[in-house]
Structure 1
Amino acid sequence: MHRPQEDSLPHQAHQSMATFPVLRALPKRRIAMMLGLGLLLTGCGADYPLGEAQRQAAENNTSHLSGTLTGGGSSAQNSAMNAWIGGFATLNPKVQVQYASVGSGAGRAGLLAGATQFAGSDAYLKESEVARSQQTCGPEGAINIPVYISPISIAFNLPGIKELDFDAATIAKIFSGTITSWQDPAIKALNPDAALPDVPMTVVARSDDSGTTENFTDYLHAAAPEAWTHDPSGSWPGGLGTEQAQGNSGVVTTVARTAGAVTYADDSLVDATLGKGTLKVGESFVPVSGKAAAIAVSASHRVPGRHGNDIALELDRTTTKPGAYPLVLVSYFIVCSGYTDANSLELVKAFGHYIVSDKGQKVAADSAKSAPMPRDLAAEAAAAIDSITLRQ
């Protein structure tokens, strides 16, 4: 496979410049990072990047859709996105959907810059980002559409231990550096029967701007405010002595090779060899699962003051609903409320409808251990996708 030189643009990025003129104002190195790396991994521009099965589907399929749809963002969403791309290609084999797993912050930045047609993000657009989106997406700006529900695991590498009980305060003290040993009395009190080893505790956090980090710190801020004094943020708080790695897969890999290490990560990417924490909710300890995450999301409500088709959700991090796991992320399909290119509009809507359909939610659940969206939320998401228009 040919790789472009450091400052050159991949062929697809050059094509995208015709659709997104704002790319001309961005440094080529940055465009290559945002688009090129992801595109190289999806087949180097081949007609059928998913292989022979897609070619045969193309010969027997009557779908009129064709063209390229480009997005980027959440690494937590990546496993589901790969499944969605494969399923959508079977139904629409003349469409190439390309997704670069570059982190939620970079994904939102790409959409706001006009470099991509959609973003995947584990955090909804901030008010300032909504305002900026009006420059790229028109006066109605961009909208957040929930498509993926997944719990965030407390994952650890303690040989012989597959499960430990945690409460929010103990997690906050571990990640803030107050607790530095696995034999700390707070951990022992929650796990009196566990043979906790005398090994160094290594705390691993994300190095990139991450929606997973924003959801994790939002949970700690709400559920353990006395132990976690930092505001919710997609960037890890400065001054905390943690080891850091890029992406969900990066922190999981670091923990897997470091005895005594602990991190937070989207559950779909946690290595089966690692242990996972249960979460104290009310008086019970709830194991991490997609079903428990969905119960927590059912207690959420819309962020007030947003566009009528914007489904940004405020999660109840302190819920005591039986079976709920409130350390959860809702990941969004972020799109413009209007597109100037008719084909882009058609592809965004078709792909969005596939993602929120029963079939799309099932393939994500099967591949990424995510929770299918509640039916009422999926219906709201479909209506929001229908609202996307062609603008002048």
Structure 2
Amino acid sequence: MKLSRFPRAGSVVAVGALALTLAACGSDPEADTGSGGSTDSGETSSLSGELSGGGASSQEAAMEAWRAGFQTANPDATVNYDPVGSGGGRTGFGDGSYAFAGSDAALEDDEMAAAEAQCGEGGVIEFPGYVSPVAVAFNLPGIDTLNMKPDVIAGIFTGEITAWDDEAIAADNPDADLPSTDITVVHRSDESGTTENFQEYLAAAAPDAWTYDVSGVWPVKGFESAQGTSGVVSAVEAGEGSITYADASQVGQLGTVAVGVGDEFVPYSAEAAAEVVAQSPRTEGTADSVYSIDLKRDLPGTYPIVLVSYSLACGTYADESTAELVKGFMTYLVSEEGQQAAADTAGSAPLSADIREAVLPSIEAISAG
């Protein structure tokens, strides 16, 4: 067992509700989400100790909701989450720095191998914990929404379309007063699952316009960049004519794109994103404890730029207290109550009952090795 670098938690009374104190978030720990610190079964428990995780910055708002719901019920338990980005989360989980992680992309083969080496015989648990639309967000005063076909979005993000009044944009927005302002593309500077999801969409929906290999690193040179979800959103808010891609929960008052799917334009929504996940198959050939999804991005009536952010944990940990804390946290995260808390705060799409039932057995089996 190789988990000696995971933080040691204090004694655990029982598994269930978990208080979350996020190092990266500064909200009021007494915030009331109505959860009362109870699980779906109505039971309450008190966990103690400290647990550290990190990863996808897209999950910040959801993490804050999970923290607020359980702080009162478990005042002696602390969960720290560092929103370093998906790449940092996967690396930290694989090298033992984090006991759990969030990633906006499923583990690649080499990353899975590193994680399995850390987790030992209990293996890796990977499941979708947070589902959200990725908004294409822009700053054009007086314009709240624009229609864009996939090849237009790809043309902007490759630098082929450089002005807001370009004919390709104007053709699907006859009523918009488009300025001649130059388009400033802002992308993530860190390795990011949001970047990978966005590129996967471009490669699938506009393969002739987007010819780059898909990865978590932005491939096009010469654009502006910023760290994390909050960084790219702040950069666009500060620059008229700017555009980016970001988790929809954090785009605030920026204008957003209704994406062309077939003959219609679909604005982002949690419901439209959830439908993509519901109609997409589970990846074949994975372990029972690994639940990843092969997203279908051309389904009529759905919003195709969807982010599935995975939660990562081990099946076994070096000590019982860490195992109990991780089990309690993950159990709440996938519960109806936890998913609804995230939806209310972050606008995410709650997991379906089918996915919840599929992943719970692996979470409930978490133990000390």
TM above 0.5: yes
CA contact (8 A) 2:3 2:119 kept: no
Counterpart residue number, 1:251 = 232
Distance 2:31 2:263 in 1: 53
Task: Name the SS of the counterpart of 1:277 in structure 2.
Answer: strand
Q: Describe the shift of the 1:128–1:86 C-alpha distance in structure 2 as closer, same or farther (beyond 3 A).
A: same
Task: Name the SS of the counterpart of 2:125 in structure 1.
Answer: strand
Counterpart residue number, 1:354 = 332
Deviations 1:88-125 (A, max 9, x none): 32332221111111101101111111111100111111
Report the TM-score, using the length of structure 1 for normalisation: 0.83
Distance 1:62 1:250 in 2: 38
CA contact (8 A) 2:229 2:246 kept: yes
CA contact (8 A) 1:42 1:98 kept: no
Find 1:304's aligned residue among 284, 287, 291.
284
Q: Does 1:147 align with 2:142?
A: no
Find 1:281's aligned residue among 245, 261, 276.
261
Instruction: Give the number of the structure whose residues are more often helix, by fraction.
Output: 1
- Show structure 1 runs of 5+ residues with no match: 1-17, 24-37, 44-48
CA contact (8 A) 2:22 2:67 kept: no
Counterpart residue number, 2:103 = 121
How big is the shift at 1:150? 0.3
Moved more, 337-346 or 100-109: 337-346
Task: Name the SS of the counterpart of 1:318 in structure 2.
Answer: coil
Q: Does 1:240 align with 2:224?
A: no
Q: Does 1:158 align with 2:136?
A: no
Q: 1 or 2 for the larger relative contact order (CA 8 Å, sep ≥6)?
A: 2
Report the TM-score, using the length of structure 2 for normalisation: 0.89
Counterpart residue number, 1:107 = 89
Counterpart residue number, 1:266 = 247
Distance 2:69 2:90 in 1: 24
Distance 2:67 2:358 in 1: 22
Distance 1:52 1:318 in 2: 39
Distance 1:100 1:231 in 2: 28
Find 2:195's aligned residue among 201, 213, 216.
213
- Show structure 2 runs of 5+ residues with no match: 8-20, 38-42
Counterpart residue number, 2:62 = 80
Q: Describe the shift of the 1:147–1:52 C-alpha distance in structure 2 as closer, same or farther (beyond 3 A).
A: closer
CA contact (8 A) 2:147 2:265 kept: yes
Q: Does 1:20 align with 2:4?
A: yes
Task: Quote the sequence identity (%).
Answer: 48
Find 1:67's aligned residue among 49, 57, 62.
49
Corresponding letter in the other structure for 1:265? A
How big is the shift at 1:64? 4.0
How big is the shift at 1:51? 6.2
Deviations 1:295-334 (A, max 9, x none): 11112112222111200111112222x2x11100011111
Task: Name the SS of the counterpart of 1:137 in structure 2.
Answer: helix
Distance 1:52 1:218 in 2: 37
Q: Describe the shift of the 1:129–1:50 C-alpha distance in structure 2 as closer, same or farther (beyond 3 A).
A: same
Q: Describe the shift of the 1:87–1:240 C-alpha distance in structure 2 as closer, same or farther (beyond 3 A).
A: same
Corresponding letter in the other structure for 1:361? Q
Corresponding letter in the other structure for 2:294? E
Q: Describe the shift of the 1:351–1:40 C-alpha distance in structure 2 as closer, same or farther (beyond 3 A).
A: closer
How big is the shift at 1:207? 0.2
